[in-house]
Each structure stands twice: as structure tokens, then as C-alpha cells.
Amino acid sequence: MAIKLGASSYSYQDEYALGLMTLEDTMAALAAAGGTGYEAILEQMVPGGNFMHLSDEFVGRWFDGLVKYGLEPTCADIFDDFNLYRGRTLTEREQLNQMKHYLSVAQRLGFQSVRVLCNTPLTVLEKAIPMAEDYGVKLGLEIHAPLSMKSRWAINWMEMIDRANTKYAGIIPDFGIFGLRPLTLNVDKAIRAGADPELCHFIVEEYKKNAKKRAESNQILEHASPEEMMHRGAEGSVELEEKVREMGGGPLELELVNARLSYDNPLWLVEYMDKIVHIHAKFYEMVPDGSGGYTDPNIDTETVVRVLRDNGYDGYLSSEYEGQGFFRDPGFPEYPDGPEQIRRHHIMIRKVLSEPYVGKLRSYGR
């Protein structure tokens, strides 16, 4: 077995929402790019929005499409919709009932795993493990920027998995936790809106310094719950915000500082390899690399793929294009559609996978 390529339906969201592509069209696009693993956001992709009560007709079309395009279902993205009712959140029992229903839907559609969001209480997830075992579908807790594999929150979840002695729970690292810099798209947009170019450059370079410092550390972030990290941002962002304010930075520059960015050392993946049930290969744009291929300027994709390849990762890299919102900006005259972005992303990953082993990787950057 080896690393396999797929994509999330999130990558085709604009085309689907605008009626330019059907569900089957997205399957065809993934197959045309050479991918074989289809990850779905059920709320997004089930016609009529009735994703929790699937019709036999839809299920039949779903499997017909998978067979037609040589795909397999990999991961169903599910949500802990704890704010369904005005004035109160769902009780733990209600959340567990909802989780059970999601797992049953995922099983019916043939998914191997489900993605659960970081805001799902760990107490709920721990009690859901027996359900996952019953349905034969793995629970994957997403570690999404600005969170970290080295946070107490993530470690607590992995300790719960060990206590349960289960193969039906784990983590889903999102490549956004390997952010090399504030997004080029965000920086360009801020400058077009009037941000100070020199101050924007300073923010980029300071982020890189903080990222390198974090990558060279092996310290668990004891107070890094999802709530804390979503509020304060990446390691070092509070101090950087103070510097930028002192330098005269305003809302445009501060927005770059407070973007949900983070950098985990890709080598940390090796420590938790046995807990990985799926991977989101997040990216925002693919640009020419100067040699006929493509590269990702924002995320340390190449290093991460080399680490996974050289340390025996056996599973899917699910490409997740998340740059659509940036390219809706009037400053971009041409819109790079989701299928083309996935095609480019797969070209880049295949190029890395074809490289010979080069020895021990550096801990930061390429």
C-alpha cells in the first residue's frame, strides 16, 4: 500500500453552488485529475439538503457514480451542530444521538471515516467511540489551524484513544497547521485595500521567525484548547500584534496578524502516525514552480508529503482547495476553478512522491 490521492467536495463548492457542476460532475473531475478518494461534506453535496435522511434513489446514484468513475468514499465531514435551538445548546445526550445518526449515514454511503470538528467536546467523542466501533466507521478529530498536534487538547484526545484501545478513533491533520506564511492572497488583498506594504512584509517575516521557533520546540502547549487558540491565534501572534500596533498598523495589517495561522513541525506527524485516520491536504492556490509544474506558496506541502512518504503513511491525502473566497475579490480578473486547482495540486504531490529518498529532513521549511 502507499499514499493515495483524493479530494474533498469542499474543493468544488463554488461550481456546485452556482449550478455549474453536479455531484456526478465533481466525481468526474476528480477522476480526470487521477484521484481515487472522494471526501464529501454531506450538507453540501446531497441534493435537496436532506442529508440526514437519505433516499434509496440517492444512495443508488451515489454508488453508481463511484463505480462509474473508479472512486471510493473516504471521509464524511460531519458537524457538531450544538446550536440548533435558540437559547440553548444541545445536551450531551442530544449530541450523541446526532453523532449516531451521522455515523449511520456515513456507513450507508460506504465511508471509512468521519471528520469531526475541533469544537466537539472530548467527553462526547469519548462516549461516541463505541458507536464508531459498532458502525465500523472511524472517528477522526480534525486538527485545524491555529490548533496544534502538540496541544494539551489533542494529547488528551489521543490518550482517550489509547485507554479505549480502539482502531476506530484518531486524528485528521489538516495541512493548514503547516502554514509557511500569512497567505499571499491575504497580503495582496490587504495592500490593494491600502495596507502598508513594508509593514505587511514585516508581518510575513515575523511569522516565519515564530514558525521556525515553534517547529524547533517539542513542548506541549498546555493551555491550547480550541477556544483559546481560536481567540488568540498562532504562537507568538499576541506579541506580534503589539509590535504592529506600535509601528502604526491599523485594521488591515492587524487582520494579517490575527489570521488563523500556525506551524507544526512536519516531523511531529511521525510521533502520531498510528493515530492518523485521514488527512486534509489543505491549500489556497497553486502557482507555477518554474519547471513546468506547480507549487504551494503558503503551506509546507512538499515537506509534509516527504515526511509521510518516508515514514510509511498508508492512506489518502484528500486535497482541500480553500481559496475560492479570495478569488471572488474584484482585484482578481481570472477565477481559477476548483477542478483546475485540484489537478495542479495532484501534479505537485505526485512529483514529490516520485522523488528519491534524500535522508533526514530539516525541521522547518523546504
Residues 152-197 have pLDDT tens digits of 999 999 999 999 999 999 999 999 999 999 999 999 999 999 999 9
**Is pLDDT of 277 > 90?**
yes
Confidence label for 28 from pLDDT (cuts 50, 70 and 90): very high
Task: Enter the C-alpha cell of residue 95.
Answer: 449530541
CA gap 328, 186 in Å, rounded: 12
**Is pLDDT of 47 > 90?**
no
CA gap 346, 318 in Å, rounded: 10
Residue 130: predicted pLDDT: 98
Residue 51: predicted pLDDT: 80
Could you write out the DSSP letters of every residue in 52-88?
TS--HHHHHHHHHHHHHHT-EEEEEE----TT-BTTB
Q: What is the mean pLDDT of residues 223-237?
A: 69
CA gap 168, 133 in Å, rounded: 6
Confidence label for 121 from pLDDT (cuts 50, 70 and 90): very high
**Is pLDDT of 324 > 60?**
yes
More confident residue, 13 or 238: 13
CATH no., domain 4-184+261-353: 3.20.20.150
User: Considering Cα of 342, then 346, then 349, then 351, what sign does the dihedral take?
Assistant: negative
**Is pLDDT of 253 > 90?**
yes
Residue 88: predicted pLDDT: 87
- Which percentage of the chain shows pLDDT scores above 70? 93
Residue 233: predicted pLDDT: 60
Task: Enter the C-alpha cell of residue 207.
Answer: 511569522
Residue 200: predicted pLDDT: 97
Pairing of strands 169-173, 138-143: parallel
Q: What is the mean pLDDT of residues 37-50?
A: 87
More confident residue, 166 or 52: 166
Separation in Å, CA 225 to CA 146, 174, 186: 10, 17, 26
**Is pLDDT of 1 > 70?**
no
Tell me, rounded to whole angstroms, the distance of Cα 282 from its chain centroid. 5
Average pLDDT, the chain: 91
- Which percentage of the chain shows pLDDT scores above 90? 75
Per residue in 286-311, pLDDT tens?
999 999 999 999 999 999 999 999 99
Taking alpha carbons only, the member of 251, 242, 222 closest to residue 152 is: 222
Per residue in 57-114, pLDDT tens?
999 999 999 999 999 999 999 987 777 778 888 898 999 999 999 999 999 999 999 9
pTM of the model: 0.93
Residue 137: predicted pLDDT: 98
The number of CA neighbours under 13 Å toward the Cβ of 262 is: 27
